[in-house]
Amino acid sequence: KIIYLNGEFLPEEGARVSVLDRGFLFGDGVYEVIPVFGGRPLRLAEHLDRLAHSLAETRIPDPLSRQGWTALFDELLSHNPGGDRSIYVQVTRGVAPREHAFPEAITPTVMAMVNPIRPLGDQVLAQGVAAVVIPDHRWARCDIKAITLLANVLARQEAVDSGATEAILVRNGLATEGAASNLFLVADGVIVTPPKDHSLLGGITRDLVVELAEANGLPVMETRIPEDSLQGAEEIWLTSSTREILPVTRLDGRRVGHGQPGPVWQRVHALYQDYKAHLRQEA
């Protein structure tokens, strides 16, 4: 495995960061995960826009131009060949003596690596997954893809401890998103997902799902989801770059809809698979 670190491509064992890195000390950094199918990054422009947003909002200077990022990812992929993969890229504010306020002269630490994407298992596609509803203990700027993920880690672990795959987070009576995924439900035949605001991460998969559904005549509403509308939903899905569109068939131990991945999911899942197939063909 070859890692990109601060301008160099290194074997994983040789890629080292100082213990004074503010990512390590404060979680002072941001990241992106970009899925790659057939050698082609999916929605690269949108991922770079979101990275630029995360950097701007945390006041970390963008260390590379868009062309620079694209060239870096191309070279990193060529060093790490494989099938379906994802690029993980992280930028921290950099290395400096420990002090909360920004140091005056500091250079961001840039790291990128490639990980395999595991396909969704046949069992998941046939039966869906379980989720649990958990209070959202995160900060108030969930639109920033910050590496500071303690609340997400604890929520996901709580889900796993109760035999579920993902946690659905609730704040002020509203279901916002998963610990590492966006939330969709189907109610009265309409696909519903919360609007993008500071309470959730604007997922690239989320936007693509909305776009594919609308382009194919499926009704979509971007509207807030009260916690108490989860139990009556016909279908619940969770979307992310690496797990695509996960059908949730059990919520807090109770069946969602008929307890099977639903017909609207089947449709949107197929549209997403077609989209990926076209991307692969263009490679």
Binding site for ligand PMP (CB under 6 A): 33, 177, 180-182, 201, 203-206, 239-241
| Lookup: tokens for 207 | 């936007």
- State the burial class of residue 63 (Cβ atoms within 10 Å of its Cβ: 0-12, 13-18, 19+): middle
Question: Least separation, in Å, of the C-beta of 222 and ligand PMP?
Answer: 15
Q: How many CB atoms lie within 10 A of CB 4?
A: 22
Distance in angstroms (rounded) separating the CA atoms of residues 139 and 137? 7
Nearer to ligand PMP, 76 or 142 (CB): 142
Q: How many CB atoms lie within 10 A of CB 172?
A: 10
Tell me how far apart the terminal alpha carbons of the chain are, to the nearest angstrom: 23
Q: Report CA 154 to chain centroid distance, whole Å.
A: 17
Question: Least separation, in Å, of the C-beta of 165 and ligand PMP?
Answer: 14
Nearer to ligand PMP, 95 or 200 (CB): 200
| Residue 276 is a catalytic residue | no
Cβ proximity of 109 and 3 under 8 Å: no
Question: Least separation, in Å, of the C-beta of 81 and ligand PMP?
Answer: 23
Nearer to ligand PMP, 96 or 237 (CB): 237
Q: Of 1, 145, 196, 276, which residue is the catalytic one?
A: 145
Question: Least separation, in Å, of the C-beta of 235 and ligand PMP?
Answer: 18
**Where in the sequence numbering do the catalytic residues fall?**
145
